[in-house]
Amino acid sequence: MSNAKMKKIVIVGGGIGGLSAAIALGEIGIETEIIELKQKWEVYGVGIFQPPNALRALNELGVANTCMEWGYSFDGMEYCDAEGNRFAEPQSPKIDGYPGLNIISRRTLHSILYEKAKSVGTKFRMGTTIVDIHQADDQAQVKLTDGSMLTADIVIGSDGQNSKVRNLIFGNVEQEYLGQAVWRYTLPRMEDITRSTLYYGPNAKAGLVPMSEDEMYLLLTTSEPGNPRMPEDQLDQILRNRLVDFGGKIAEVREQIVDPKEVVYRPVFSYLLPSPWYQGRVLLIGDAAHSTAPHLGQGASLAIEDAVVLTELIQQGLNVTQLLKAFNDRRYERCRMLVESSNQLVKWEFLEWEGKMPDDVNVPKFAYETLANMNEAI
């Protein structure tokens, strides 16, 4: 289906949100070009959560079934103490036709989205990024670091937490460091790890998450005051040391962590850009506009939803001002709820580690209800 008013859109950033936008827009006949800073794709290999609302959005892109074929699906989770004794076994809220959760390797997901984006005609310009954006009444011009200029009807900033597009349009935005970091490491899947299993220790939260028939990944959330800089050549040793309070299966896999290059360490930041997320013909989506702690596994889901909603609104024939306002109105409150709910889980984890958790807090129930809200129509 062609779109008479919108001819070309430039997308800055070739991650999940950028590729999703390119696919959705390409499917309705809009020319898209992705500007990617990296000379070649560099995607770390641990898994990514795909709850039902993400799969629903991916279905709009035509890739949900492929993700479920290559990933690992299940309907519930397990909550255990540090020794592996189960204390809760909640089911994940579902949407008809989808599992409660699908986990897939980030590399695999990127490959699926990249191939789909190519199939709808997306152009890729690698190894460069934007220097400036000049806006006129009828177009936006993007100047790149390689000296070239591109003209588009809209420029989408999908370039992550440290968005260059956002800095150009809105100035520097201070992100909130939440005092935690998440560690991840890919391992061979244990036969009895068939769903996401979380282990609550005295000072940290660990997890084992299946992402294919052959692979799982370990995750660990720790308190890291002051956002310390970790020596990259010692990440495996530090991660093993962070796991000493855990027994059971976590203790079993601990000694398999031997390659510092395979440890993915990410400090946890969060922010929600004040509304509006656009100026003129420039729009921010995904982490550039709303970056969330990973505790509900919804960051990528929001970025994919952004792409689907934007494309749906374009098909209504709105002018640029109407379009971007309508997008902002549709997305802001949903993303705000998710960011704030994720931040709440971080605060509760600190209270738990400090022995100050209120008796009336039910974390599994809170997580279930929040995820159920995310399954509502977008």
Q: What are the tens digits of pLDDT across the range 56-77?
A: 999 999 999 999 999 999 999 9
Give bridge partners of residue 88 from the DSSP assignment.
79
- Cα 237 from Cα 258, distance rounded (Å): 8
Q: Provide mean pLDDT across the span 225-247.
A: 98
Band of pLDDT at residue 214, cut at 50, 70 and 90 = very high
Band of pLDDT at residue 102, cut at 50, 70 and 90 = very high
Query: DSSP string of 71-86?
Result: SEEESB-EEEETT--E
The one-letter amino acid code at 196 reads: S
Out of 170-174, 262-266, 343-347, pick the least confident: 170-174
**For residue 164, is pLDDT > 50?**
yes
Instruction: Specify the pLDDT at position 125.
Output: 97
Chain centroid, CA 130 distance in Å? 23
Buried b (16+ CB within 10 A) or exposed e, 267-277: bbbbbbbeebb
Give the residue carrying structure tokens 């990296």.
Answer: 38
- Cα 355 from Cα 364, distance rounded (Å): 18
> Which of 298, 287, 270 has its CA nearest to residue 178?
270
Q: Provide mean pLDDT across the span 155-160.
A: 98
Helix (H) or strand (E) holding 131: strand 130-135
* 2 burial level (CB within 10 Å; 0-12, 13-18, 19+): exposed
Instruction: Specify the pLDDT at position 179.
Output: 98
Instruction: Specify the pLDDT at position 173.
Output: 87
- Cα 149 from Cα 10, distance rounded (Å): 11
Instruction: Specify the pLDDT at position 44.
Output: 84
Chain centroid, CA 259 distance in Å? 25
**For residue 286, is pLDDT > 80?**
yes
> Which of 308, 306, 280 has its CA nearest to residue 291?
306
Q: Provide mean pLDDT across the span 283-295.
A: 97
Instruction: Specify the pLDDT at position 2.
Output: 39
Q: What are phi and psi of 355, to 5 degrees?
A: 75, 25
Instruction: Specify the pLDDT at position 1.
Output: 36
The one-letter amino acid code at 296 reads: L
Chain centroid, CA 215 distance in Å? 20
Helix (H) or strand (E) holding 109: helix 106-119
What percent of the chain lies above the pLDDT cut of 90?
94
Q: Is the bond into 276 cis (omega within 30 degrees of 0)?
A: yes
**For residue 146, is pLDDT > 60?**
yes
Instruction: Specify the pLDDT at position 4.
Output: 46
219 DSSP 8-state letter: E
- Cα 54 from Cα 332, distance rounded (Å): 17
Q: What angle do CA 45, 62, 310 make, to 5 degrees?
A: 95
286 DSSP 8-state letter: G
Instruction: Specify the pLDDT at position 327.
Output: 98
Instruction: Specify the pLDDT at position 5.
Output: 79
Band of pLDDT at residue 3, cut at 50, 70 and 90 = very low
* 280 burial level (CB within 10 Å; 0-12, 13-18, 19+): middle
Q: Provide mean pLDDT across the span 107-124.
A: 98
Edge-to-edge strand ranges of the sheet holding 47-50: 47-50, 101-105, 72-74
Residue pair 37/44 in contact (Cβ under 8 Å)? The answer is no
Crossing angle of the two packed helices 106-119 and 16-27, in degrees rounded to 10: 30
- Number of other residues whose CB lies within 10 A of the CB of residue 208: 26
Band of pLDDT at residue 45, cut at 50, 70 and 90 = confident
**For residue 91, is pLDDT > 80?**
yes
Q: Provide mean pLDDT across the span 15-35.
A: 98
Instruction: Specify the pLDDT at position 42.
Output: 87
